[in-house]
Amino acid sequence: MEKNWVKVFTSSNFYQSEIVKQMLTGNHIDAVLLNRQSSSHQNFGYVEVYVHQDDFSQAIEMMILNQITL
C-alpha cells in the first residue's frame, strides 16, 4: 500500500468493512479495503478500511454521523 494511508475501521466481518467503505466513497472520500483474513478460514483475521491521511478527520466525522463504531 502507498504511504500516507491510515486505518479508520477494522472488522472481522467483510460486509461491515464494505459498508463503511461504500459510505465513505459515497461521500467523496477515497477508501480501500485491506483483507487480512485467512484464505482458508474466514473466521481468522480482519478486514481493514484505509483512507488517505488528508481525509482522516472527515472520514471519522462521517463515521460518527452515521453511527459507525470504531
Residue 44 cell numbers, joined: 481468522
Local structure of residue 54 (DSSP, 8 states): G
Quote the CA–CA distance of 11 and 7 in Å, as a whole number: 11
In the predicted model, what is the mean pLDDT of the chain?
88
Output DSSP code: residue 53: G
Distance CA 6, CA 51 (A): 6
* Mean pLDDT across 26-53: 86
What pLDDT does 3 receive?
86
Nearest residue to 68 (alpha-carbon basis) of 21, 25, 14 = 21
pLDDT attached to residue 9: 95
Residue of higher predicted confidence among 49 and 40: 49
The topology under which CATH files domain 5-65 is Alpha-Beta Plaits (3.30.70)
49 contacts 24 by C-beta, under 8 angstroms: yes
User: What ranges do the domains of the chain cover?
Assistant: 5-65
pTM summary value: 0.85
